[in-house]
């Protein structure tokens, strides 16, 4: 018969390995006024027979001493194991916040339990602090955008409109423009109007969009340096400058915005430190880092909701400052943020025109394909980011920039074939209904939306004006109905735009752009007047000639065409000034007012000379001829008025 000798005693925390559940009650979160759930341990004795073999079995009826330790008290109690070796300890009610510790002790063997006691409002306050920091970040970006748009917006618009069609040049312009105004969406909206107007071709627009992705990472780079000590200095300086006028107010907004960015990151980092007390929050962060699909999906959805990849990456950087996520988790968030921002643009383009759909779909394709490649090569990408060195926040910011640089390097050489592919995938519709985008607090996006729609109005008005000679040459009534239809389109665009401008006036963040909004409103009215003159006055004159079987003399028709050419030239100058903000073209447009008035007077005198020569066609069409010349001059007057408002803007 073998003799069993006691070798050792062990205290084990029960754990269900099948369902991955801790049954011991360790790491509990307890609210003040409650007691923790009962704590469970199991005691085993290890026996050794005379042959040296060890046998482990539950130890029943064994007494253990339990120490319950808080910041202020230590409570001692004895518990005993049951027939299966389990012992249960029921902690007392806890009346104060803080950590607690429970130690089971037996024969020099210890088992340690920990937990935390919080006020019921703690989680709410911590979440509100995190949300408040996030909102401050968005507001800081908004103020930075306001300031830069005020003192550099016109220059950026000129850069976008006047760039060469060289893909590399367009790519660099996209970086500069987006880094300046801190809104890739605003750049995209402007691009749509430039492509629709023929100022920028689709390959160049796609190259700008690639550069815009890189430019949007500048914010993450700035905040990753962690210059928190400068936050209040920048906020105070920016606020003081904001109270001044002119260009200093714009500088103030930009400086104030940068200060808020640094401050908001600090607020979110402190909120993350508070939330790190919660086991559930720690588990969530661990899941983001350990489960790629979960982390990427969560980041994608959140980015699509807040419409800002910079804000989501900024949140990741704030968590990194407290080491609540590791580099893998940060990279997954970066992946999701880039996919999410392209989904936002894709959804917004659903009701936009052909150019908007092509650019948004191409942008989504480039972001998603870049993700697929980098995710497939994740170990290599991870190693490269690590090799670049720096703190964890710097590594996450670098990853965000590398993601977009890699995508640009991949697709920039092929923007030509890619643009042709998307032109085939999304064909041009014969008539596209103008679309006013949803309201936004971003001033650059709002102004780009309005300008985009005004350019669309200009395109319709230009098309109408270019067909005026046909009115008197073709004698075709169907053209009159087409012009009326286009005039109705201008009227509807005006109605939508005025309603949009009214909503903008109610937005406090647009207050500094009130003069520009007022100028836009007056420009819209001028285009409506131009449409009315063409569809009503000139079309009615052509209809009268048709129904009465009359026609202008060859000389009279040539005079009308001569004046029309001058008006069209002024229209081109005006449109160039509208799109690019070119002061030279705006000034030339205004200087032509007197020239065209003098030309109209000369042509009317030539008409009177034909009357004196008793030219039959001139006699029969005299009133109509003079009316047509005067209406063309009225159109020219409205064009120069638009240039006057552009100069004021």
- Residue 587 within a domain: yes
At residue 48, φ and ψ (nearest 5 deg) are: -130, 125
Residue ending a domain, among 425, 459, 477, is 425
- Residue 141 within a domain: yes
Given 3-state DSSP classes, what are the helix, strand and coil percentages for the chain, each rounded to the nearest 5?
A: 70, 10, 20
Q: Is 175 found in the same domain as 243?
A: yes
Indicate the number of domains in the chain: 3
Q: What angle do CA 284, 290, 293 make, to 5 degrees?
A: 90
Q: Is 152 found in the same domain as 83?
A: no
Q: Is 186 found in the same domain as 60?
A: no
CA 489 to chain centre: 30
Residue ending a domain, among 371, 391, 425, is 425
- Residue 192 within a domain: yes
What CATH number has the domain bearing residue 40? 2.60.40.10
Distance, in Å, from the CA atom of 171 to the CA atom of 178, rounded to the nearest integer, reads 11
- Residue 190 within a domain: yes
What CATH number has the domain bearing residue 594? 1.20.58.220
Q: Is 318 found in the same domain as 180?
A: yes
pLDDT of residue 69: 94
pLDDT of residue 197: 59
Domain of 379 in residue numbering reads as 123-425
User: Which segments of the chain have a pLDDT < 70?
Assistant: 1-7, 49-52, 149-165, 181-186, 189-190, 192-194, 196-199, 348-353, 428-445, 475, 505-513, 649
Q: Is 419 found in the same domain as 335?
A: yes
Q: Is 287 found in the same domain as 419?
A: yes
- 113 Cβ partners below 8 Å, 6+ apart? 13, 24, 25, 26, 39, 101, 102, 103, 104
Residue ending a domain, among 63, 86, 120, is 120
Distance, in Å, from the CA atom of 197 to the CA atom of 523, rounded to the nearest integer, reads 18
Q: Is 128 found in the same domain as 116?
A: no
C-alpha neighbours within 13 Å on the C-beta side of residue 414: 11
Q: Is 266 found in the same domain as 150?
A: yes
CB 443 within 8 A of CB 149: yes
Run of H or E residues at 358? helix 354-376
- Residue 344 within a domain: yes
Distance, in Å, from the CA atom of 39 to the CA atom of 442, rounded to the nearest integer, reads 53
pLDDT of residue 461: 93
- Residue 507 within a domain: no
Q: Is 150 found in the same domain as 102?
A: no
Distance, in Å, from the CA atom of 167 to the CA atom of 144, rounded to the nearest integer, reads 29
Q: Is 381 found in the same domain as 270?
A: yes
6 strand-pairing partners: 47
Relative to beta strand 86-89, strand 74-80 is unpaired
pLDDT of residue 22: 82
pLDDT of residue 288: 93
Q: Is 211 found in the same domain as 246?
A: yes
CB 44 within 8 A of CB 102: no
Q: Is 236 found in the same domain as 183?
A: yes
Nearest to 395 by CA among 326, 304, 345: 326
- Residue 171 within a domain: yes
- Residue 53 within a domain: yes
Which own/partner pairs from 411-418 qualify as long-range (CB within 8 Å, at least 24 positions apart)?
Answer: 411/206, 411/210, 411/366, 411/369, 412/167, 412/168, 412/171, 412/207, 412/210, 413/167, 415/167, 415/203, 415/204, 415/206, 415/207, 415/210, 416/167, 416/203, 418/203, 418/206, 418/362
Question: Can you give the pTM of this predicted structure?
Answer: 0.71
76 strand-pairing partners: 67
């Amino acid at each position: 018969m073998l003799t069993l000798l006691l070798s050792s005693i062990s205290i084990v925390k029960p754990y269900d390995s099948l369902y991955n559940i801790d049954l011991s009650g360790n790491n509990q979160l307890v609210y003040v006024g409650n007691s923790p759930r009962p704590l469970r341990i199991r005691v085993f004795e290890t026996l050794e027979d005379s042959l040296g073999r060890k046998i482990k079995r539950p130890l029943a009826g064994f007494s253990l001493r339990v120490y319950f330790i808080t910041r202020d008290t230590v409570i001692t109690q004895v518990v005993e194991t049951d027939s299966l070796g389990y012992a249960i300890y029921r902690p007392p009610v806890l009346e104060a916040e803080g950590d607690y510790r429970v130690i089971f002790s037996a024969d020099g063997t210890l088992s340690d339990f920990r937990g935390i006691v919080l006020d019921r409002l703690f989680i709410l306050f911590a979440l509100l602090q995190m949300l408040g920091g996030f909102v401050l970040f968005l507001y800081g970006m908004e103020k930075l955008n306001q300031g830069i748009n005020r003192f550099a917006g016109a220059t950026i618009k000129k850069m976008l409109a006047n760039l060469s069609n060289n893909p590399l040049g367009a790519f660099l312009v996209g970086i500069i423009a987006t880094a300046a105004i801190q809104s890739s969406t605003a750049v995209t909206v402007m691009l749509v109007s430039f492509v629709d107007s023929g100022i920028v071709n689709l390959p160049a627009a796609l190259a700008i969009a690639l550069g815009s992705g890189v430019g949007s990472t500048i914010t993450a780079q700035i905040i990753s340096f962690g210059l928190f000590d400068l936050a209040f200095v920048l906020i105070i300086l920016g606020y003081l400058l904001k109270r001044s006028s002119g260009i200093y107010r714009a500088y103030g907004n930009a400086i104030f915005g940068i200060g808020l960015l640094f401050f908001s990151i600090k607020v979110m980092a402190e909120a993350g430190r508070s939330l790190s007390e919660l086991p559930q929050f720690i588990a969530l962060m661990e899941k983001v880092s350990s489960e790629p699909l979960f982390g990427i999906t969560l980041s994608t959805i959140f980015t699509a909701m807040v419409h800002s990849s910079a804000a989501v990456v900024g949140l990741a950087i704030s968590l990194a400052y407290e080491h609540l996520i590791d580099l893998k988790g940060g990279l997954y968030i970066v992946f999701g943020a880039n996919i999410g921002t392209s989904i936002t643009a894709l959804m917004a383009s659903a009701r936009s025109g052909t150019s908007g759909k092509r650019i948004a779909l191409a942008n989504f394709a480039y972001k998603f394909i870049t993700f697929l490649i980098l995710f497939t090569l994740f170990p290599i990408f991870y190693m490269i980011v690590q090799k670049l060195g720096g703190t964890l926040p710097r590594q996450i910011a670098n990853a965000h920039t590398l993601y977009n640089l890699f995508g640009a390097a991949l697709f920039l050489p092929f923007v030509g074939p890619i643009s042709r592919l998307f032109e085939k995938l999304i064909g041009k519709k014969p008539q596209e209904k103008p679309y006013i985008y949803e309201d936004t607090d971003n001033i650059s996006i709002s102004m780009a939306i309005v300008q985009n729609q005004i350019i669309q109005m200009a395109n319709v008005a230009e098309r109408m004006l270019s067909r005026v000679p046909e009115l008197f040459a073709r004698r075709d009534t169907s053209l009159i109905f087409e012009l009326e239809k286009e005039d109705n389109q201008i009227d509807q665009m005006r109605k939508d735009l005025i309603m949009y401008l009214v909503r903008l006036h109610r937005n406090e963040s647009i207050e500094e752009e009130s003069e520009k909004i007022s100028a836009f409103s007056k420009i819209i009215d001028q285009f409506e007047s131009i449409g009315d003159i063409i569809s009503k006055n000139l079309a009615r004159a052509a209809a009268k000639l048709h129904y009465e079987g009359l026609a202008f003399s060859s000389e009279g028709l040539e005079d009308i065409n001569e004046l029309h050419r001058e008006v069209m030239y002024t229209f081109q100058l005006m449109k160039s000034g509208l799109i690019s903000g070119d002061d030279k073209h705006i000034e030339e447009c205004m200087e032509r007012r007197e020239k065209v008035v003098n030309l109209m007077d000369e042509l009317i005198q030539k008409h009177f000379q034909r009357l004196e020569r008793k030219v039959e066609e001139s006699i029969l069409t005299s009133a109509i001829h003079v009316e047509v010349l005067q209406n063309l001059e009225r159109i020219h007057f409205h064009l120069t008025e638009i240039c006057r408002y552009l100069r004021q803007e």
